Every structure is written in structure tokens, then in C-alpha cells.
Chains A and B, each alone.
Chain A
Amino acid sequence: MNLIGEKISYKPDEQFHLNDVSFNFKKGNLYTILGRTLSGKTTLLKTIAGLLNPDQGSISFEEKDFIKIPVWERNVAMVYQQFINYPHLNVYENITFPLEQRKLSPEQIKKDVDEALKTVGLVGFENRKIQELSGGQQQRVALARSLAKKAKILLLDEPLVNLDYKLREQLREEFKRIFSEGLSQDTILIYSTTDPQEVMELNGEVIVLDEGKVLQKGPAKEIFENPSNLKVAEISNDPPMNVLKGSKNSKNLNFENIFLEIPNHLKNLEDKDYNFGIRASEIKLDENGEEFEIELAEISGSETLLHLKRGNSKIIALIEEVMNFKIHEKVKIKFNANKFYAFGEDEKLVSSPYGGTNG
């Protein structure tokens, strides 16, 4: 009864948009697809919706070959990152459109639409024109249209990316409520995003996609704690996880002429060269720390992002207060050695502070 994709490949031009992607989505679950722009997220969702036919591979749903069913008979719902609504219809008509297409009774349509409007918080906006709504409201209409359909597969393609920061925060909170209230237990929800924070908050099963390939699958917590390789570590952190080329010997960790005491979880590692990973938030300003040069300091909200340089290494530190720095100024920082990841030279995870290894 699941939505199963096997070895799906799609290569319309020189590059793979999807490369050997397999999945098994169970009803009642939330799946997030995490990947940078152009990693194939939209292609994957469009393939599931039926807007694209893969060159290879199969998709089945409820034991039926999905690829043979045309889009308009698949009963899926999709919300795009652009706010796509029918501009010639008002809010109410926009939401009834798919229901009327399915020739439901007027009573049923009214009930479903009212319910959906309530869920997304647009009661009272029924007769508004789409053009009169703000971006956030337009996206709510698109979401309401998808919810009212009661489709068995709901696809959300970066629904928040085109909204401003504040609205994004607000709608993200609401999404969690909407997903728990507004969906029945046999819906498969697939949500794609570039934002690791969204993935963590939605807390579903995650698929990390890059250049059309699946890099890692697993629960959000697992992806965060034990990224299987450097790419995943980069994609699943914002700012991306810092990478420091260095080595371990019997006494300490060594990179850019910095020597750190070996944290417990790295003690049993073989002595050789590694790519060490450390999150931006695990770097603190400290008078007794190591000297780095500031390349750029950005203030974002109540935080300061410091782009630092030492030797050949460039790292980003996240300081949790607003501070003013001069470019090329020297600062001293300290690494939280207990949160060091070790990746091998093949970029695969060797050891993580949460106990994960890559077998």
C-alpha cells in the first residue's frame, strides 16, 4: 500500500536530474527532501505527481503502476514554491476547482472547502481576488486547495522559500499544526526544502538529495547527528559545517598549526589524516583561543556570522550576540573539541560526537 519508487533516473540533457533514486513512503508519514537548489527535489516531486516521466525506474502506489496513470487521474496535490493559484478565480473558487473537477456534490464541496479555509486561517477571505492577497495568503490558498482535495499524496515543493523571514517563521509553525490536524492518517506528505532548520522542526523522515542522487536517508535527528559524509554535513547545516583538513596523532588533533586535546569520542581513531567537521555554533570567542583573521562579519538577526581565515582554512563561526568587527581584524576563538566530527579522506564519516560511524 506504500508509495514505492525504484531506481528512478531522469536525464533530459547532459546531467542527471535524478540518478538511481529509490524510496518507500508509508501512509500517514511526513517525508522531507533536503537538498540545495537544483539538486533534483522539484524533479522528484514532479515525477511522483506525474508531470515528468522518468527515463528509467518504476513508481507504484497501492500496488498499481503509477507511471501508467496520467497526472489528472493520480489524485495527488502539489504546492509550488511560486504562489500558483488560478488568477481568474477568487479564493473560494480556487479551492473548489479541483473538487468540482472531481464532480463531488455541492454539499460535500462546501464542507471540505470550509474545513480547509479554517485550517489555513483564511475564513472571511472567500470572495477576495488572488491578486489582492499577500504572498503568505496566496500560499495559504494554494495549501487550502491541496488540503481540500484530500489527496492521498501531498507534495510541497519549498512552500516557504519565497516568503519573507517573519512570515516564513510563522507559517512554518502553523505547518506543524496543519499537518497534524488537517491530514488524514492515510496521507503521504512529502515536503522539499533547502533549509535544514525546517527539516529539523518538521522532524520527519529525511532524504538528502544532491545532484539527483540520494546521499542519506533517515530520521531528521539521525541526519543531524550522524551525517554519512561531508556533503550531507554541508547540506544539513546552515551555515554549512566547517571543514578543517588535519590529522590525528597519539597526543592531539592537529590542523593549521593548532593542537587540540583529543576528545573522548575520537580517542580510538587510527592516527592519520582526517577532514574534521565542526558546526559554526560550536566555535566561541575566547581570549585564550587560537588567532584567526576576519574576512567578513555579517549580522543576521541577533547573531553575528564571522567568516574567518587561517592558513588555507576558511571557517564560519556563529556568535550569539550582535558585535561589530573590522575586516582583517584578528580574533581569538576556541573550538568545542567534544563536538568534532571526523571524516576520512574519502569524505565519509568516521566518527561523530553522537557515536555514529559509517560502518
Chain B
Amino acid sequence: MIKKKKVKKPTIAIIGLTSCEGCQFVMLDQGKKFLELLGRFEVQEFRLIEDEPMLEEKYDLCLIEGNPVTKDNIKLLKAMRERSKLLVVVGNCAALGGVWEIKNYQLRQKTIKYVYKIKMKVANPDIKEVDNFVHVDYVIPGCPITGNEFLEIIYQLLRGRRPRIAQSPVCNECRTNGYECLLQKGEICLGPITLGGCHAVCLKSKQACWGCRGLFEGAQIENLMSYLLDNFTRGEIYRVMEIFGARDSILRQLEKTKKSK
């Protein structure tokens, strides 16, 4: 993948589609560590720090943050895929749709009419994850991403390795850290099926996991569902899954496992 030549550093593009840009701020918030990382690359496109980018024909690495909501977003996303050797999606909006995906479970036209009283030429599509539009090589999950995990993955790519996030649930980290189990306390917590790596940061603040990092491979969704259904309605559980756009992927996976049995 990324070849290290003596003269030329690998090129990187950091692209923001529609989002809060929080994941780009997590990158910036790494301070010196982030500047060091950027020093290893030829930074060709990063709107947040550059006003007049010099567009390259090809990129070694392209980071996509945000969700392709507008036609321009989709066009840019496809163009970047064509020009990039590796495309990595960064954060929940790109990977799972983001909190705006809640709209998919409402009447879209009603949702937009609530916000705009006059007729607008505002794009109002169903929200879809980036991998519906282009091939994605790697995913850095979370809302927002975890700073040290981000640095680790990018450095691995830089060294030509194939990074892989350990496939274990948020629950493991929660338990290891000795945080209170909110599932046992009677809340809907998606920790048992959600990909760890966030250090169970929400549980530390007594906030139940709402699955912003998506499923890990081998998640026992059926077990969690049957446990939750003893105390909550299906609707209540789905509502929690909707917040970070995880509902569709969780239910799809659940269907798959049921069929294969």
C-alpha cells in the first residue's frame, strides 16, 4: 500500500462531508501528536487548516468524515475514492449514518417541513452509510472517534500494516475498569454487542452504551435482545438503537444469524 520513498512522502487527504466535524477536532485535539503525524505525510487536502489546497491527482490515503447528504457530498466522495489508494471512513456519521439517521424512521417530508416552512431546495434523502456509495477499506468507529485509536490505526497504515480493531465488546472494557453495570441496573445498554476500543468512556460517566461504534464480529445480538425484551418493549429497544444509526445494521445482522440457524 503506502510506499515510502526517500524523496516523496505519502499523500493524505482529510475530507469532511456533512457532520459536526467533531472527529476532525478529535484529530486536532491530539495537539503535537497530530502535528507529528501530519509531518509524516504530504497533506494535500484538509479544509480545516488550509484555505487553498493543491489538488493532487492521486492520494495514498483518504480519510472521509461525515455523511454524504448532498449531491455534492456524493460526487466528492466518489471522486476521492477514484483518486485514493486507501479510503478510510472516520467516525459514526460515515460508518453508521450518524444521529441524523433517526430521520429514516420518521416521515422525511414531515421532518423537513418542521424545520423549513418555505419551499427549499434542500437535499433530504434517506441517510445512508458511506459504504453504500463506495468501497471502504477501513473503518475508524465512534461518535466521536477515540484519539489514540485513530493515531494507532493511521501509523499502522503508514507502516504498510493492515490494522484491525480487537473484536470484543464494550462490556469487557467496562468490567475491567470496574464501572457499574447499567444493564443490570435496569437500563437499555448496548455494551454487550458494541465494538470495544472506546475504553467504555460513556459507562465511566454512567451513560449507557448506545452503540455508536457499531457491532463487533460475533456479537450475540439474540441473547441481548431476549434479555432486554423481558423488561422493555421492542419499540423502546429500537429507539435506543436508532440514536447512533446502529438499528439497521443490528437488525440486519440479527436476521442473518437467524437464517443461518
A and B interact physically = no
Chain B residues close to A by CB (< 8 Å): none
